[in-house]
Amino acid sequence: MESITRKQGAGSMTKREQDVLRLLAMGKSNKQIALDLGISDYTVRDHVSSLLRKQGVGSRMELIARQAANPLHLSGS
């Protein structure tokens, strides 16, 4: 698995985390994200938790606000 085998800095995101963040920014729920990406709700929850930790924020809203203020050019796939 890429996210496990690849060493990452505290602020780096995996491709899947970028996908999750892009969909979060579109206002989608964990369930909707899971359906869109073909993964479980629990996996989405884990990705969101990882993003919160990596970005040093305490909520999804803070995460989305930070993304809006500093876009990472997350393109739709």
Binned average pLDDT, 10 residues per bin, the chain of 77 residues = 43 91 96 98 97 95 90 57
pLDDT at 5: 36
For residue 11, the model assigns a pLDDT of 58
Do residues 21 and 75 make contact, with C-beta atoms less than 8 angstroms apart? no
pLDDT of residue 74: 59
Q: Which residues contact 26 (CB under 8 A, 6 or more apart)?
A: none
In terms of C-beta distances under 8 Å and separation of at least 24 residues, what long-range contacts does 62-69 make, across chains too? 63/21, 63/24, 64/24, 64/25, 67/21, 67/24, 67/25, 68/25
- Alpha-carbon distance 45 to 76, whole Å? 20
The predicted structure's pLDDT at residue 4: 42
pLDDT at 43: 98
